[in-house]
Structure 1
């Protein structure tokens, strides 16, 4: 996934080279902070279990687990660590936790980047157009988890029907699914043997119940934008706060990421400033809740995704025209245009 898909007039080769520098230190710092937060909420969940205080801790813990996908996504791009093997090791670990095997994720995601938002080719668009009901079932998790679990089981039986998976890679996803199933079975057997419910109370249940929060990020990135081959039109960035940017490994700068996916997560704010703010440009962007409200209105009354044009934006928000990048270190306003 080292190929660059982007507009060459956005940035100079020197700027892109500097922004594409990877760092084991920055990767481990982000990894440690995310793992540390999950460990802290996990311990607190154990201490509060059985009391009403466990409910908010349970929810926060689950949200933190779900957002590990942001790290897995970046590791699929090989950008979190300079040491390439570390991206694979931790990417596979995250994929196991999230029931989202790494090899499959990489193949699907490559097709997504290569054919972003193009029906029939984008690996993430192998689905019927959304209705309000199907959208809500996906956002809140029932159909999401059904499809993820069913796919792992199907692959383990050697059934691979996804058109974007090349024949040469089918043995990889089959073998990977079988390793996943074996690992899950081992955990289940150990849990029964020890009489422990930890795998349910501290992993599966919080992760599945809180999927809806992570889906706020998944759905805002491309839905409601044109199915055309133009990153500036088919990808949306997100206006949000510093905590959400940390938890999502800066994936809110999604247009910048799609323009130059070789740039690591910790450099995405700088990339955004370079290709948008400094040039007085602005990507498509909305807030999480603003997007969800607009989408529900668009689907209200029985309308579906198929009722909207493929070549025009049908979900947008022009109420906030301020740059979405955080302020540069020497510019507390965040509005300075860099030379």
Structure 2
């Protein structure tokens, strides 16, 4: 993934090499900040539980937990930290917490970068976009319900040894991904068993519930990156940059700078603002940008109510 460049010539090779150096200190500091937010919202949820204040605090806690996927994503590129094993460990831990096993996600994401917006090869959109993308389907996707149903089904299927829906996995990756799914399910079962034995709802209240019930806070970022963008061209024209605030950029590990990331995926998250600015200065036109609410409104207005049915040739 690190050697893939979406468009050459926008950044000089020496500058790109300098931008592409990961840092353990930067990564650990950012991770500590993210975990501090989770600790803070979790503590607030403890004190607010049972009152109406518990509702917004529950949502904020779930948002912070769901956004751990941004850390996992950065680790998939081995750019969160300089030490490779640290990337693998943190990525695996985050993957367990957000119910998306890390090795599987890494292979899936590698393919997404290699075949961005290709309906036949990009696993993020295979069978989900093209003529089948409708207004109702888009709005339903925003809730996170289809995401969780798909994630649960795939995790169980892969744990059974069935990787028929993952053509992007190599022969070497398949057994590792299957084993990972099995260990993941075993881990969840152990936590559930211990919770029942101890008569505690802590895991459900402070982890599982918030992650599952607030996926809708994370879906706008997942969908805004490529939905509705061209299926031809390169990463500059097929990827959106998101206009948002500093807090969300922090929790998303700068993934709103998504065009810059997709074009040069070997650049660590903390250098993406610089990279984006330098790329924007050299591009002949402004990068495609949108805010979350603007994107949702635009898609809801422009998408068809029903999937278009191909007309038979005369």
TM-score (norm 2): 0.94
- Cα distance in structure 1, aligned partners of 2:6 and 2:234: 9
Give the stretch that moved more between structures: 181-190 or 143-152.
143-152
Instruction: State yes or no: 1:266 paired with 2:262.
Output: no
SS of residue paired to 2:200: coil
> 1:275 — aligned with what?
279
Unaligned stretches of 5+ in structure 1?
308-339
> 1:163 — aligned with what?
167
- Cα distance in structure 2, aligned partners of 1:205 and 1:260: 36
CA contact (8 A) 1:115 1:229 kept: no
> 1:13 — aligned with what?
13
> 1:231 — aligned with what?
235
CA contact (8 A) 1:116 1:229 kept: no
> 1:203 — aligned with what?
207
Deviations 1:251-289 (A, max 9, x none): 011110011000000000000111113556421111111
Q: What is the aligned residue count? A: 306
TM superposition shift of 1:150: 1.2
Q: Which has the higher contact order (CA 8 A, sep 6+)?
A: 2
> 1:102 — aligned with what?
102
Q: Where do 1:94-133 residues align within 5 Å?
A: 94-128=94-128, 129-133=132-136
SS of residue paired to 1:227: coil
TM superposition shift of 1:51: 1.2
SS of residue paired to 2:172: helix
> 2:302 — aligned with what?
298
- Cα distance in structure 1, aligned partners of 2:257 and 2:155: 30
CA contact (8 A) 1:237 1:252 kept: yes
TM superposition shift of 1:135: 2.1
CA contact (8 A) 1:132 1:304 kept: no
- Cα distance in structure 2, aligned partners of 1:306 and 1:159: 32
TM superposition shift of 1:48: 1.5
Q: Over aligned residues, Cα RMSD in angstroms?
A: 1.5
TM superposition shift of 1:304: 4.0
> 2:153 — aligned with what?
150
Unaligned stretches of 5+ in structure 2?
none
Instruction: State yes or no: 1:138 paired with 2:141.
Output: yes
Give the stretch that moved more between structures: 37-46 or 271-280.
271-280
Give the stretch that moved more between structures: 125-134 or 290-299.
125-134
- Cα distance in structure 2, aligned partners of 1:73 and 1:53: 32
